[in-house]
Amino acid sequence: MPEVSLGLILVILLILWAEFVNGWTDAPNAIATVVSTRVLTPIQAVIMASLFNLAGVLLAGTAVATVIGKGIVDPSVIDLTTVGAAMCGIIIYSTVAWYYGIPTSESHALVSGLAGAGLAKAGPSVLLWAGWQKVIIGLFFGVLLGFLGGLILMSLIQVLFRRSHPGTMRGVFGKLQMFSAAFMAFSHGTNDGQKFIGVFTLALVLGGFLPAFKVPLGVILLCGLVMALGTMVGGWRIIKTMGFKITNLEPVHGFSAETGAACTIELATRIGIPLSTTHTINSAIMGVGATRRFSAVRWGVTGNIVLAWLFTFPVCGAIAWTVTKLVLLISK
């Protein structure tokens, strides 16, 4: 058994901290609409999301985790310093965004942090185009299909139930939304839940505890638990933004957004594409809102969210680059 170094312990703690932040900024995406429509109370929704997130992590396989751990930056030039620096970028940026109630994409924070740290250590050659191709595909995949999924499903429901009484609609889709929220939480676990598992496993390989990149069950359980705790502790700020501030939601809207987003995420997971659940569910909510009228979406709020998405890549990359350079300078 290799000796446990202080550096490895510090990096693992940073990874778990970043996963905890992921739980309060990203995982609430799964339950924002079910809380805003009052189908479930916040406590009920958080418990449900935590359980189904963990189930998704356990049952998904490791295709997305492998892309993050091995496909973004060449593992041969990445060490514990660069992994820790990437986690610092995520923690700092996402915590600031969370304070203002803005949902962020930990997926993009993670890949940009790894890229920034890798660039500081070894230059542009460290970036792997095959993995970045999947990230870019996932960016458009989540936004476009999320929006269309919410819009098309909501439009179809409006046609099929056009003669139904609003009270009947609320009753029916209030029950259905419990399933769609669980589906959304599960899909979050299958895709987003894998990402920090991949980084944790990479750290164990770098620390000499694993001979090859193979995700242990203990890592899956630990990361799933930490993410669930993060949602329980700090998820409410993001729930308020997504569930109440983007557009007014009834259970039928929540059902359409969650189902459209979850189907998109599940499709991406099955083909090993890491995407942002934040982008996907927010786009689905916008798509649902647009079925009523364009002005039903509060575009000022969504503009702030989109700006946070755009700044994620340069800011997290810059933080990770700076931390890596500082550590390298100090260690000389």
Instruction: Give the chain's mean pLDDT.
Output: 84
**DSSP structural state of residue 23:** H
Taking 70 as the pLDDT cut, the residues of the chain under it are: 1-4, 27, 60-65, 67-69, 193, 243-245, 294-297
DSSP 75: G
Instruction: Please choose, from the candidates 159, 181, 197, the residue with its C-alpha nearest in 3D space to the C-alpha of residue 64.
Output: 197
Q: At what angle do helices 277-290 and 166-206 cross, to 10 degrees?
A: 160
pLDDT tens digit string along 66-91? 766 677 888 777 889 999 999 999 99
- Model pLDDT, residue 108: 85
Alpha carbon distance 140, 166 (integer Å) = 35
φ/ψ of residue 124, rounded to 5: -60, -25
CA 63 – CA 65 distance, rounded (Å): 6
Q: What is the pLDDT of residue 59?
A: 75
CA 117 to CA 84: how far, in whole Å?
9
pLDDT of residue 61: 63
* pTM to 2 decimal places: 0.84
From the CB of residue 200, how many other CB atoms can be counted at a distance below 10 Å?
Answer: 26
Which pLDDT belongs to residue 331? 82
Alpha-carbon distance of 128 to 122, in angstroms, equals: 13
Q: Strand pairing partners for 127?
A: 73
